[in-house]
Amino acid sequence: SQQGEEDPQALSIQEGENATMNCSYKTSINNLQWYRQNSGRGLVHLILIRSNEREKHSGRLRVTLDTSKKSSSLLITASRAADTASYFCATENTNAGKSTFGDGTTLTVKP
């Protein structure tokens, strides 16, 4: 099974609302990354949080990491229609050298 699992699988909100996506994982990690994928395109890196960090911000994005619960959340504030995309978390496991991706959350922001 995937190391990272996103929840919910799909999320639909109105423009201006906040969107929260969650990611759970199973084993010890070096870091956790969030990516966005627009339909039919490659993935774009959004933010990376290291295992010794608890929270990170980038513009309208806020990522939290709780290593005791093996979970992370991505919050997008004041969402826009252009935020409509799939969002993936990826974990780099200790000594793995590669990152493992979840199945993603599909976010739809209605104008």
Partner 1 sequence: GAGVSQSPSNKVTEKGKDVELRCDPISGHTALYWYRQSLGQGLEFLIYFQGNSAPDKSGLPSDRFSAERTGGSVSTLTIQRTQQEDSAVYLCASSLWNVGLDGYTFGSGTRLTVV
CA distance 54 to 57: 11
**Distance of closest approach, residue 62 Cβ to partner 1, in angstroms:** 17
- Strand-pairing partners, residue 17, are none
Instruction: Please report, as residue ranges, which positions from 39 to 78 form the binding site for partner 1 (by CB under 8 A).
Output: 41-45, 48
Output 70 or 102, the one with its CB closest to partner 1: 102
Binding site residues, partner 1, CB under 8 A: 2, 30-31, 33, 35, 41-45, 48, 88, 90, 92, 96-104
